[in-house]
Amino acid sequence: MQAKIVTLPGDGIGPEVTAAAVRVLEQVGTRHGHRFTFQEALMGGCAIDASGNPLPDETIAACEQADAVLLGAVGGPKWSDPTAAVRPEQGLLRLRSHFDLFANLRPVKAYPALAEYAPLRAELLDGVDILFVRELTSGIYFGPRAEQGEGDRAHDTMLYTVEQVERIARVAFEAARKRRGKVASVDKANVLASMRLWRRTVSAVAADYPDVELEHVLVDACAMYLLRNPAHFDVVLAGNMFGDILSDETSVLAGSLGMLPSASVGRGTFGVYEPIHGSAPDIAGKGIANPTAAILSAAMLLRHSLGLESEARTVEQAVEATLAEGARTADIAADPASALGTDAFTERVLAHLA
Ligand code: NAD
Ligand code: IPM
Ligand code: MN
């Protein structure tokens, strides 16, 4: 098949890990006879530096012509002055919103090969396989901003409509049907009105899925259960901010933030594929970032946007085999001093793909 992929490497380690994922996609294309073309565009801090705009019109236009977008990460200390009016992260939010990518899928697996290194006891990790379904284009990130204010007062508004909750809940229930048939819906219904609407709407949608088991979990307790009994969870459905926070927390189960991929999708097959991690300013430019999250995001791109399930599995199996033979980047190594850099680790994945 032919496919056009736009890459938005962004800032910090974004370009380093995106380059690794592109190498993997190129090799998949060559081996399986697909013609993937890549076009790079600016988003985030690098786009602010070039044009003052974190999401230039040319970038949106390029994405509109693409089958899928592979994104690195945006942001960093250079653009993090709290008084700055223009921020790299605004570009990312606008991109998600422009393409109505309301569902952010974040799979979390514990890899047996990494169990001895993980901060949690190995027996807790047995059978951990969670899918976060995070609402991505509403909630407190996109609440009414008209009088947001500066100076001595500021506020953000958590707003959800029934329609916004219904559509993301359906994504979670449909996913649960193809998995272990359980949805844990996360909210703060004991305090927030928007979260009471969330809870009653999810319950109403559940009536259409009698074969799926639904539980409601308050977000604070959920943060604890996810570490105390992670194997209990199948699909975790959460709003924009709670899903962001809980998925970073849960990355500890996979060994590192550098392990977790994501797919941001809407109604059609188009999607933006991005590691859940950020630009990691503390390690940027050193060539030591873990490219696994970006490579697994490329696998999600193959599956969701291009319909190439078996190629996606090949990439995931290559990553598993690479970890199983002991290859480690510094963030998942017992001895970071003898760990592989980004490129050396990627070579090992490519060798398993060959
Ligand atoms: P971060 O995710 O960038 O880093 C947190 C920690 O995880 C750091 O110690 C980092 O070194 C480590 N880490 C992250 N990815 C790694 C990888 N692939 N390999 C090895 N270690 C890795 O979070 P932060 O430092 O809080 O944020 C930095 C910037 O990134 C901020 O400007 C933030 O807004 C932005 N951010 C962007 C995205 C995105 O573009 N999707 C996501 C999250 C954060
Ligand atoms: C993520 C990031 C973003 C978010 C920021 C950078 C806007 O943390 O993709 O997880 O909060 O969604
Ligand atoms: Mn995040």
Question: pLDDT (tens digit, 9 = 90+) per residue, 224-268?
Answer: 999 999 999 999 999 999 999 999 999 999 999 999 999 999 999
Ligand 3 centroid to 88 CA: how many Å? 14
Q: Is 49 noted as a catalytic residue in this protein?
A: no
Q: Is 100 noted as a catalytic residue in this protein?
A: no
The confidence band for 134, taking pLDDT boundaries of 50, 70 and 90, is very high
For residue 31, what are the CA distances in angstroms to 26, 36, 135, 243, 315? 9, 12, 36, 36, 12
Q: What share of the chain is helix, strand, coil (3-state, %, to 5)?
A: 45, 15, 35
Q: Residue 310 is which amino acid?
A: S
**Backbone dihedral angles phi then psi of residue 292, each to the nearest 5 degrees:** -60, -45
- Substitution site in 248, 256, 277 for ligand 1 pocket (most atoms within 8 Å of beta carbon): 277
354 and 27 Cβ atoms separated by less than 8 Å: yes
Q: Order of strands, edge to edge, in the sheet holding 235-238? A: 35-40, 2-10, 68-73, 271-273, 263-265, 103-109, 129-135, 235-238, 182-187, 213-218
Task: Give the whole-angstrom CA distance, residue 39 versus residue 241.
Answer: 31
Q: Is 109 noted as a catalytic residue in this protein?
A: no
Q: What is the CATH number of domain 1-107+261-354?
A: 3.40.718.10
Catalytic member of 11, 109, 141, 209: 141
| pLDDT at 317 > cutoff 70 | yes
Ligand nearest to the CA of 89: 2
140 and 156 Cβ atoms separated by less than 8 Å: yes
Q: Is 220 noted as a catalytic residue in this protein?
A: yes
pLDDT at position 275:
98
89 CA closest ligand 1 atom index: 34
CATH architecture of 119-254: 3-Layer(aba) Sandwich (3.40)
The confidence band for 141, taking pLDDT boundaries of 50, 70 and 90, is very high
pLDDT at position 226:
98
Residue 153, C-beta contacts closer than 8 angstroms, at least 6 positions apart: none
Across the range 115-139, mean pLDDT stands at 93
Size of the chain, expressed as the number of residues it contains: 354
Q: How high is the mean pLDDT of the chain?
A: 96
List, in sequence order, every residue forming a beta bridge with 135; answer none if it has no partner. 103
Model-level pTM? 0.98
The confidence band for 144, taking pLDDT boundaries of 50, 70 and 90, is confident
Q: Residue 167 is which amino acid?
A: R
| pLDDT at 119 > cutoff 60 | yes
Q: What residue spans define the domains of the chain?
A: 1-107+261-354, 119-254
Q: At which residue do the structure tokens 């927390």 appear?
A: 249
Across the range 34-45, mean pLDDT stands at 98
Question: Would you state the structure tokens that stand for residue 100, as one six-digit string?
Answer: 């109505």
Across the range 200-225, mean pLDDT stands at 98
| pLDDT at 147 > cutoff 70 | no
- Substitution site in 17, 79, 87, 92 for ligand 2 pocket (most atoms within 8 Å of beta carbon): 92
pLDDT tens sequence across 55-107: 999 999 999 999 999 999 999 999 999 889 999 999 999 999 999 999 999 99
Residue nearest to atom 12 of ligand 2 (CA): 244
Residues with CB under 6 A from ligand 1: 13, 17, 73-76, 80, 89, 92, 256-258, 274, 277-283, 289-290, 293, 331
Q: Which residue has the higher pLDDT, 151 or 17?
A: 17
pLDDT at position 152:
84
Task: Give the whole-angstrom CA distance, residue 306 versus residue 29.
Answer: 12
- Substitution site in 78, 89, 257 for ligand 1 pocket (most atoms within 8 Å of beta carbon): 257
126 and 188 Cβ atoms separated by less than 8 Å: no
Lowest mean pLDDT, pick from 40-44, 56-60, 114-118, 307-311: 114-118
Catalytic member of 126, 208, 220, 343: 220
Helix axes 292-304, 342-353, angle to 10 degrees: 40
pLDDT at position 146:
53
Q: Is 52 helix (H, G, I), strand (E, B) or coil?
A: coil
